[in-house]
Amino acid sequence: MIGFEGLYVIYLIASMCFILAIRGLSSPKTARNGNQLGMFGMGLAVLATLLVLPTRNDLGILSAGFLAALIGIWTANKVKMTALPQVIALLNGVGGLSSVLVGMAQILRGQVSLFDSSVGIAIGGVAFSGSLIAFFKLQGWLKNKHFSGANIINIIIFSGLIITWAEFVMTERMYALYMLVFGAFLFGATITLPVGGADMPIVISVLNAFSGFAASGIGFSLSNVALIITGALVGASGTILALAMTKAMNRSLVDVFFKTFTESEEKDFQSRTARVGSPQDAAFLMENASKVIIVPGYGMASAGAQYALKNMASILKDKYHVDVKFAIHPVAGRMPGHMNVLLAEAKVDYDKVFGLEEINPDFETADVAYVIGANDITNPLAKTDASSPLYGMPILEVSKAKTVFFVKRSLGAGYSGAQNPLFFADNTLMLYGDAKKVTEEVVANL
């Protein structure tokens, strides 16, 4: 009917749909249309493939797809917004594994470039096991493992991976293929295991890029242009996100994977005393403020405090005519854009949500900065102390506000292990407790 050339044209159209889908995300106004265009492109490509290349077992294929659709849509609708990072990690891993299996099927079938397929297999394998470990960590089922000599082990496994890969491409023996798959799984796991929570946005982005490049690798082996273009798009997207995140933390990708922070306990902190405020104080100061900036971090997500926060912001704005803004650091949370989605879920107007560079000049004129579940991203040592692990990281300059409230469970050091001198500053008041409970108490006192 449409033939192979028609199929080629349809793949080209699908690729264009995907490019425009991502382009749509440049503004919240066009984003949903973009997503729908992506779905359309995918549907088109799959349907055309099924029509032009009928399989011996179409029924089996359709049932597999149908079952996956049921499970995928049901799970995606069921999951809580706070659990988004782990869901995306899991889906990413599933995509990676799919590339591995397709690559292996092609090699078993023969008549395919072993080099191209095996590159796809290796990258997909790392994406799969790395994403799985990231999923377990984000879900809280796995603690950080700082095993000694992790770097040496990783380098050995990586060298082993390269050697088995070369062995396979040159000898074409199947045992080398199985070892390659196993080695890729192992490497993905060991490289992700030592990475800590606050570096998760970077790791997820890197793994996202990997699943894209794996698809490109498979595309090379099949000479399939749709796979190459789409894989490159996804790969570029993940890479750019990862680089943006590392820049926002002043770390390099090498640092993230090889120089993981050792999470330290509250060291010589007990000797100093921070001023403790009450929810009443916070309510009183914010009612009488003309400008309040709210700075959310992972603590807001884990406590599910976004609705209480939105409530607080609305009352301040409607009843007391306070100018309330939200400030989001690029690496706040566990995935890129994590805070934005949660605030959007609580129906915070996105016009009131600002990024690092837009909001920093505002702190000087703010009466209150309400920091909720964030720490390192406000630490002034990042600017002043060259020995601090945070040195050079751009921060939200909350200390310039007249009064700073820190909603935190304890005085503990941040994820980086760095102490935050801001806790002991004259204009800081600590509000101890669960982010959601504390905010609800503030609301009750407004």
Partner 1 sequence: MSLLFLMTIFILSCFIGYFVVQGVTPALHAPLMSVSNAISGIVIIAALTTAALAEDFNNEELLSLIAVFLASLNIFGGFTVSNRMLKLFKKKDEK
Residues 316-335 close enough to bind partner 1 by CB under 8 A: 328, 330, 335
Helix, strand, coil % in the chain, rounded to nearest 5: 65, 5, 25
321 to 184, 351, 359, 441: CA distances (angstroms): 57, 17, 20, 20
Q: Which of residues 225-254 bind partner 1 (CB under 8 A)?
A: 225-238, 240-241, 244
Q: Using CB under 8 A, pick the residue from 82, 86, 88, 134 that binds partner 1.
A: 88
Kindly tell me which residue out of 92, 154, 192, 378 binds partner 1, with binding defined by CB under 8 A.
92
376 an active-site residue? yes
Work out whether 403 is an interface residue with partner 1 (CB under 8 A). no
What is the 3-class SS of 372-405, one letter each residue? ECCCHHHCCHHHHCCCCCCCCCCCCCHHHCCEEE
Pick between residue 150 and residue 169 the one whose CB is nearest to partner 1: 169
Which part of the chain contacts partner 1 (CB under 8 A), choosing from 69-77, 141-149, 405-413, 425-433?
69-77
d(CA 151, CA 160): 14
Name the pairing type of β-strands 353-355 and 291-296. Answer: unpaired
- Asked if 214 interacts with partner 1 (CB under 8 A), we say yes
Angle at 215 between CA 118 and CA 131, to 5 degrees: 90
Fill in the per-residue mask, 335 to 354: x = in contact with partner 1 (CB under 8 A), - = not in contact.
Answer: xxxx-xx--xx-x-xx--x-
| Choices 92-100, 137-145, 284-292, 425-433 (CB under 8 A): range interacting with partner 1 | 92-100
Contact of 351 with 396, CB cutoff 8 Å: no
Comparison of 98 and 445: residue with beta carbon closer to partner 1:
98
User: What's the token pair of residue 439?
Assistant: 């905010």
User: Which CB sits closer to partner 1, 24 or 279?
Assistant: 24
Residue among 376, 385, 426, 434 flagged as catalytic: 376
Name the minimum Å distance from CB 297 to partner 1: 15
Q: How far is CA 58 from CA 48, 51, 53, 217, 227, in A?
A: 14, 10, 10, 26, 22
In the complex, minimum distance from the CB of residue 303 to partner 1, in angstroms, rounded to a whole number: 19
Task: Tell whether residue 97 is a contact of partner 1 (CB under 8 A).
Answer: yes
What is d(CA 20, CA 15) in angstroms, rounded to the nearest whole number? 9
Window 40 to 59, contacts with partner 1 (CB under 8 A): 41-42, 45-46, 49-50, 53-57
The residues in 119-158 that bind partner 1, with binding defined as CB under 8 A, are none
Strand order in the sheet with 368-372: 353-355, 323-328, 291-296, 368-372, 403-408, 428-432
Residue 174 phi, psi dihedral angles, 5° rounding: -70, -35
**Nearest Cα residue to 205 out of 175, 233, 234, 227:** 234
Q: How far is the CB of 362 from partner 1 (least distance, A)?
A: 17
Q: Which stretch binds partner 1 (CB under 8 A): 75-83, 373-381, 397-405, 427-435?
A: 75-83
Q: Shortest approach of partner 1 to residue 109 CB, angstroms? A: 5
Task: Kindly identify the residues of this chain, within the stretch 14-43, that bind partner 1 according to CB under 8 A.
Answer: 14, 18-19, 21-23, 25-29, 31-32, 34-35, 38-39, 41-42
* Number of residues binding to partner 1, judged by CB under 8 A: 107
**Residue type for position 245:** M
108 counts as binding partner 1 under rule CB under 8 A: yes
d(CA 288, CA 295): 19
Q: Which is nearer to partner 1, 56 or 321 (by Cβ)?
A: 56
- Please state the closest distance from residue 226 (CB atom) to partner 1, in A: 6
User: Which sequence positions are flagged as catalytic?
Assistant: 376
